[in-house]
Structure 1
Amino acid sequence: MGPYVASVFEGTGHVRGKASGTLIASGLELSFWGGVNSETGEVIDRHHDLSGHRLQDTVLAIPSGRGSCSGSGVMLEILLNNKGPKAILLERQDDILTLGVMVAEEIFGKTIPVVTMKPNDFRAILGMKGKTIYIDSDRVSDEAFHDTHGDHTQEPTKSYFIDGMQLSDFDKELLQGLHGEASCTAIHIILRTAGLLGATELMNVTQVHVDGCIYTGPGSLLFAEKLRDWGGKVRVPTTLNSISIDQNRWREQGVDNSFGEAATKLAKAYTDMGATPTFTCAPYQLKTAPRQGEQVAWAESNAVVYANSVLGARTMKYPDFLDICVALTGRAPKSGPHLDVNRLASLILRADLPDVDTIDDSFYPILGYKVGSLAANRIPVIVGLQALAPSRDDLKAFGAAFATVSSAPMFHMLGVTPEATSLSAVVDEARQIPSVDIKMEHLVEPWQRLNSASEQQSVDLVSLGNPHFSFKEMKKLAHLCEGRTKAQEITVIVTCGRSSYGLASQAGVVEVLENFGVKFMTDTCWCMITEPIVPTTANAIMTNSAKYAHYGPGLTGRKFFLGSLMQCVEAACRGSYSKKMPQWLLNTDG
């Protein structure tokens, strides 16, 4: 037997450096928000094959991230508290995770290598689980490097990626610090991201939606307060995503004082910089929602997908922290879905329609979850749904589920979404585009996966509003509750934005729902809600949100039932759920 020959791979180091650690690896994308505990570094996505693994001192290999824009915030926190990996190896470039490392490096001087590998090399790495892996700049090996492979010291960030960039006079002023330290730091981060994306110039945007106001830990607060204290002020209209607490009610809800106060300080840092306290994960419900073709910079995965797909506005999937940098400068990388060529579909999905008469509102989140799983990082166009005429709320539910398991920034729905007027309008006909049939029996597996609770478990909490409930959804819920009595032991909570809550209050809908026993929470959303609002019991949570049914088991330690809004009301009245497949699934051969 001959001597062992080390495997050496050449990749692209987006954040350069040297590191080594035991390899943990998966061929499945991972969302750090909702998928990794920011305090412990444990993978908590209970639908992922790395569930239960801890990232500390490992080399993590995954194809890319997926899901939430807040993954950059979780990445920052685990690096600052030394619970993160020693390096990350990717098959596909990931802006969100890489940005989290860049911010840790730029602001706090903490960094790890991030390397994107060629597909064949990445697959080879997957076969090395459990081995010690070494990273040196662009190189990856299962044996330590003994040569001096150049100087791997990080280049000064003030000149990073500026070569080859077409800078406007205003960009140069920002870089020179003529508009203050906060905007100077912000433009450095933007230019590093532009280099990562291959953009050669920056562009103006008309508005920003900031997701970084979610409290992921002390790092997120330090980052925002530094920018605020350096004189940061937003240059374009800026809305804020859901925060981690109901700002007006958190004390009476029993939220821990230290957490509530930290989350309050974080929200204040952003409003001090001039952002509007909208505190909603559904900014498309606001009067300020952008129009088709408008160039904006939105973060929050469901909001990005909705803006691009349903509104026809143009935004990248902005990572947390990059969002406020764009708001402070009004400048964004001219890349991604801002450009026509990057909005084309690269996957055709042909849906075999259910009987329109049997469909209920649980169809759209389950279909969105399946489509997102099939699409991965590709923009799909779904053919065959035009006759169903999905509503804006149906598309919201579809898009949120899609964004949970896909890293793609948008989808098209032929004859439904504004850009998909024809198949030729959203695909490059010169390219060979793969086509996949989706039959209704293909939706049985995602329905079963998202219904993680057993039939023997009772329900003690009905969770509604992930993403935030619209005014129309509250009216629909009020109609379904009419003449019914909620079981005394069941808690029903609706989360919504302040704007929608105000409309529902004026229309008397809030009063009707409160008489039924519904509780309302504004400002926050289910992915941020923990104990004591979600009590620790052995009972299940009932929801109509595929997004929460996916993230919830890891976030709460509870099992979930997923059903229609009507089934949620029935569970609230009975205190149980029969876990019966919807009629449109029972009619399949699956």
Structure 2
Amino acid sequence: MPRSVGGRSLIDGSAQGALLFADTGLSFWGGVDPSSGEVIDRHHPLSGQRVAGRVLAIPGSRGSCTGSSVMMELISNGHAPAALVLAEADEILSLGVLVAQHFFDRSLPVLCIGQEAFDTLRGVAWARLDGAALGLYSQAPTDDWQPQPGVGQPEPFDDGFALDSRDHELLAGSHGKAAQVAMQIVLRMARLQGARELVDITQAHIDGCIYTGPASLRFAEQLVQWGARVRVPTTLNAISVDQRRWRALGIDPALGEPASALGDAYTAMGARASFTCAPYLLDSAPALGEQVVWAESNAVVYANSVLGARTLKYPDYLDICIALTGRAPLIGCHLQEQRRAQLLIDVPALKELDDSFYPLLGYHVGTRCGSRIPLISGLQQLRPSLDDLKAFGAAFATTSAAPMFHIAGVTPEALNPAHSSDSPEMLPRVSISLQDLYASWMELNSARDTQVRLVSLGNPHFSLTEFARLAELCRGLRRHPDVVLAITCGRAVLEQARAAGHVAVLEAFGATLITDTCWCMLGEPVIPVGVRSLMTNSGKYAHYAPGLVGRSVHFASLGTCVDSACSGATSARPPAWLATCAAEGAEHV
């Protein structure tokens, strides 16, 4: 006999299919191929599986805000799951479905059933969703039941939701079709999130300018045709190509042309052609307490944690909808009480660290947090730099669903740790050992050869201080003739580095500099066809590269990356501060 589970319907509809279950969150961007539905996250238990036509059961998403774009693309091209079953309400994946409803008249049901019920799904063969009910079967039923997918319908927005006169004007279409549809999507998401009012925002950073397929371009061009214009200062994330040089880099026009056109569509809406995944390096970076709407996972985490600005981890497309209206749901990290730490993490006392420590620690801490905001203790005396915090936050955002972190004595809302939580001493506590960090080091170091033919730097985009340090390391040296060392950065930072003389040193070394795009979007021929593995100092890219470009990774410090670029090889040994754990691990092999 089938059994039934009830839940909260996030997106209405009905569907059925073979159940594909995992107890690990999944980033759809970098984790699911938008053209086929294959799970390409090689660290995920579902790696190699295809989600198309199946009822996908995961706790929620994690990592990139662009997961909503991938979900929309899958729905548009017919490779989407039949339905989603989640342990926790997920804004990124739900938003992708909402946008597909509004723009492509296609949908799939999304159901949240809570962690306890979710844990009972392991081993279930078949699932059937009907509204808020989930039927579970040991095999496919033989009845003639037919699903009725829900398609989004206009909703009344005057039933107790606090709207001002400008909000009503936007809903009525007084400011144009694009702003009207954007406001409808903002309010549907606000309801899904549990908000009852909106807040004015001062600026936006748009992640939806990443090209994930034809649907992403159709979405943006439709907004332009409807007369879309942003209402607040708006910057753009890295796009999928170096817009000024993609032909010279050998990029296939099948990608270069639509990816460049997508960037043009967003600038046509009034956004600044910043094209950087590190908007916190721009002169427009927000101040402490400023209400903003930023997308791109590392940027969100940095804005909340290091700058002390206030933003949710906004999904792609909700970001531009809010930029077009100037209004965001008053929920989550926009509220002081929702920024409190929920988990205390103790880091062991360590000495003689190199810069690989912070991305490694961020990667590991993210795996321990889930969606909880951590307060990290033990780094006060290390005085991490802004570059260290950038590297930590990017790796943290890769493995965690949390929108921010606190570091005791370091980040602005934890200079006094007591201010980051109502009762820090009462928080659940996790102690991280050197052995834990070594295990994460081994996970990031997926390459087993010692040859190095590509060194990738700048994920997130390089800062001016990183350029200065790299130039110091490379001065008077020359890369191995068989090695490509390439750096991705924003246009503004490149010009600053050029003015400071750093670019001349790096060009003499033989480095390649690429703007507008980032390693998470780059493939062949920038990554040479014959290269089997690559080296990076980015915890984020070390995680994503095996799935995105099919190469294994050597993860190392910046200094080690330069050494390997000169020699064409690496020892693949961990740094000295992890050497004890490496020796102990070898003894047990």
Give me the TM-score of the superposition, normalised by structure 1: 0.96
User: 1:439 offset after TM fit, Å?
Assistant: 1.8
Q: 1:393 to 1:61 in 2, by over 3 A?
A: same
Match of 1:469 among 462, 465, 477: 462
Q: 1:541 to 1:155 in 2, by over 3 A?
A: closer
Match of 2:416 among 415, 418, 422: 422
User: Is structure 2 residue 132 aligned with structure 1 residue 132?
Assistant: no
SS at match of 2:61: coil
Task: Indicate if the aligned counterparts of 1:353 and 1:440 stay in contact, CA closer than 8 A.
Answer: no
User: Is structure 2 residue 326 aligned with structure 1 residue 330?
Assistant: yes
User: Is structure 2 residue 357 aligned with structure 1 residue 371?
Assistant: no
Match of 1:586 among 575, 579, 582: 579
Larger mean Cα displacement after TM superposition, 212-221 or 580-589: 580-589
Q: Which amino acid aligns with 1:157?
A: P
- For 2:290, the equivalent position in structure 1 comes to 294
Q: 1:203 to 1:125 in 2, by over 3 A?
A: same
Write the distance in 2 (CA, Å) between the matches of 1:108 and 1:493: 39
User: 1:422 offset after TM fit, Å?
Assistant: 2.2
- For 1:349, the equivalent position in structure 2 comes to 345
User: 1:326 offset after TM fit, Å?
Assistant: 0.6
User: 1:458 offset after TM fit, Å?
Assistant: 1.1
Write the distance in 2 (CA, Å) between the matches of 1:396 and 1:101: 31
- For 2:539, the equivalent position in structure 1 comes to 546
**What percent identity do the matched residue pairs reach?**
51
User: Is structure 2 residue 151 aligned with structure 1 residue 157?
Assistant: no
User: 1:164 offset after TM fit, Å?
Assistant: 2.4
Q: 1:126 to 1:175 in 2, by over 3 A?
A: same
User: 1:457 offset after TM fit, Å?
Assistant: 4.0
Write the distance in 1 (CA, Å) between the matches of 2:450 and 2:524: 20
Task: Indicate if the aligned counterparts of 1:136 and 1:145 stay in contact, CA closer than 8 A.
Answer: no
Write the distance in 2 (CA, Å) between the matches of 1:147 and 1:249: 56
Q: Mind listing any 5+ residue stretches in structure 1 that lack a counterpart?
A: none
Match of 2:176 among 175, 180, 189: 180
Q: 1:61 to 1:431 in 2, by over 3 A?
A: farther
User: Is structure 2 residue 232 aligned with structure 1 residue 239?
Assistant: no
Q: 1:153 to 1:524 in 2, by over 3 A?
A: closer
* Alignment deviations for residues 161-186 of structure 1 (CA, whole Å, 9 cap, x no partner): 65221011100000000110000000
Q: Which amino acid aligns with 1:326?
A: I
- For 1:320, the equivalent position in structure 2 comes to 316
In the TM superposition, what are the counterparts of 1:133-282 in structure 2 within 5 Å? 133-143=127-137, 154=151, 156-159=153-156, 162-282=158-278
Q: 1:457 to 1:538 in 2, by over 3 A?
A: farther
Write the distance in 2 (CA, Å) between the matches of 1:250 and 1:559: 25
User: 1:484 offset after TM fit, Å?
Assistant: 2.0
SS at match of 1:409: coil
* Alignment deviations for residues 71-106 of structure 1 (CA, whole Å, 9 cap, x no partner): 000001111110110000000111000000010011
Write the distance in 1 (CA, Å) between the matches of 2:143 and 2:18: 19
Task: Indicate if the aligned counterparts of 2:14 and 2:150 stay in contact, CA closer than 8 A.
Answer: no
User: 1:354 offset after TM fit, Å?
Assistant: 0.7
Match of 2:484 among 491, 512, 519: 491
Write the distance in 1 (CA, Å) between the matches of 2:145 and 2:27: 35
Write the distance in 2 (CA, Å) between the matches of 1:163 and 1:490: 62
SS at match of 2:414: coil
Q: 1:113 to 1:388 in 2, by over 3 A?
A: same
Q: 1:431 to 1:139 in 2, by over 3 A?
A: farther
Write the distance in 2 (CA, Å) between the matches of 1:481 and 1:81: 46
- For 1:502, the equivalent position in structure 2 comes to 495
- Residues matched between the structures, number: 580
User: Is structure 2 residue 555 aligned with structure 1 residue 562?
Assistant: yes
Write the distance in 1 (CA, Å) between the matches of 2:308 and 2:267: 28
User: Is structure 2 residue 353 aligned with structure 1 residue 359?
Assistant: yes
User: 1:149 offset after TM fit, Å?
Assistant: 13
In the TM superposition, what are the counterparts of 1:67-78 in structure 2 within 5 Å? 67-78=63-74
Write the distance in 2 (CA, Å) between the matches of 1:307 and 1:23: 38
Write the distance in 1 (CA, Å) between the matches of 2:178 and 2:86: 31
Write the distance in 2 (CA, Å) between the matches of 1:548 and 1:570: 19
Write the distance in 1 (CA, Å) between the matches of 2:229 and 2:516: 22
- For 1:412, the equivalent position in structure 2 comes to 406
Cα RMSD of the aligned pairs, angstroms, is 1.8
- For 2:52, the equivalent position in structure 1 comes to 56
Q: 1:151 to 1:463 in 2, by over 3 A?
A: closer
Write the distance in 2 (CA, Å) between the matches of 1:138 and 1:323: 28
Write the distance in 2 (CA, Å) between the matches of 1:466 and 1:217: 22
Write the distance in 1 (CA, Å) between the matches of 2:486 and 2:517: 12
* Alignment deviations for residues 17-57 of structure 1 (CA, whole Å, 9 cap, x no partner): 01001111100000000000000100000000100000111
- For 2:526, the equivalent position in structure 1 comes to 533
Write the distance in 2 (CA, Å) between the matches of 1:163 and 1:518: 59
Task: Indicate if the aligned counterparts of 2:363 and 2:539 stay in contact, CA closer than 8 A.
Answer: yes
Write the distance in 2 (CA, Å) between the matches of 1:166 and 1:147: 45
Write the distance in 2 (CA, Å) between the matches of 1:391 and 1:277: 28
Write the distance in 1 (CA, Å) between the matches of 2:314 and 2:306: 18
Give me the TM-score of the superposition, normalised by structure 2: 0.96
Q: Which amino acid aligns with 1:449?
A: E
SS at match of 1:365: helix
SS at match of 1:24: strand
Q: Which amino acid aligns with 1:349?
A: I
Task: Indicate if the aligned counterparts of 1:137 and 1:152 stay in contact, CA closer than 8 A.
Answer: no
- For 1:459, the equivalent position in structure 2 comes to 452
Match of 2:428 among 434, 455, 473: 434
In the TM superposition, what are the counterparts of 1:19-38 in structure 2 within 5 Å? 19-38=15-34
Q: Which amino acid aligns with 2:432?
A: I
Q: 1:560 to 1:38 in 2, by over 3 A?
A: same
- For 1:390, the equivalent position in structure 2 comes to 384
Q: Which amino acid aligns with 1:550?
A: H
Task: Indicate if the aligned counterparts of 2:345 and 2:375 stay in contact, CA closer than 8 A.
Answer: yes
* Alignment deviations for residues 486-509 of structure 1 (CA, whole Å, 9 cap, x no partner): 100000000000010000111111
User: 1:127 offset after TM fit, Å?
Assistant: 2.8
Task: Indicate if the aligned counterparts of 1:76 and 1:103 stay in contact, CA closer than 8 A.
Answer: yes
User: 1:119 offset after TM fit, Å?
Assistant: 1.6
Q: Which amino acid aligns with 1:327?
A: A
Write the distance in 2 (CA, Å) between the matches of 1:364 and 1:429: 27
Write the distance in 2 (CA, Å) between the matches of 1:149 and 1:422: 58
Larger mean Cα displacement after TM superposition, 432-441 or 521-530: 432-441
User: Is structure 2 residue 568 aligned with structure 1 residue 571?
Assistant: no
Runs of 4+ in structure 1 off by over 3 angstroms are 143-155, 587-590
- For 2:508, the equivalent position in structure 1 comes to 515
Q: 1:174 to 1:532 in 2, by over 3 A?
A: same
Match of 1:443 among 421, 437, 448: 437
* Alignment deviations for residues 393-413 of structure 1 (CA, whole Å, 9 cap, x no partner): 000000000000000000000
Task: Indicate if the aligned counterparts of 2:25 and 2:61 stay in contact, CA closer than 8 A.
Answer: yes
Write the distance in 1 (CA, Å) between the matches of 2:148 and 2:472: 67
Task: Indicate if the aligned counterparts of 2:464 and 2:497 stay in contact, CA closer than 8 A.
Answer: yes
Q: Which amino acid aligns with 2:131?
A: S
SS at match of 1:142: strand
* Alignment deviations for residues 123-146 of structure 1 (CA, whole Å, 9 cap, x no partner): 111231xx1210000010125698
Q: Which amino acid aligns with 2:154?
A: T
SS at match of 1:193: helix
Q: Which amino acid aligns with 1:371?
A: V
Task: Indicate if the aligned counterparts of 2:16 and 2:147 stay in contact, CA closer than 8 A.
Answer: no
Task: Indicate if the aligned counterparts of 1:294 and 1:313 stay in contact, CA closer than 8 A.
Answer: yes
Q: 1:504 to 1:155 in 2, by over 3 A?
A: closer
Match of 1:90 among 86, 90, 94: 86
Q: Which amino acid aligns with 2:2?
A: A
- For 1:380, the equivalent position in structure 2 comes to 374
Q: Which amino acid aligns with 2:398?
A: T
* Alignment deviations for residues 268-301 of structure 1 (CA, whole Å, 9 cap, x no partner): 1100000000000000000100000000000000
* Alignment deviations for residues 373-404 of structure 1 (CA, whole Å, 9 cap, x no partner): 00111000000101000000000000000000
Q: Mind listing any 5+ residue stretches in structure 2 that lack a counterpart?
A: none
Write the distance in 1 (CA, Å) between the matches of 2:187 and 2:495: 40
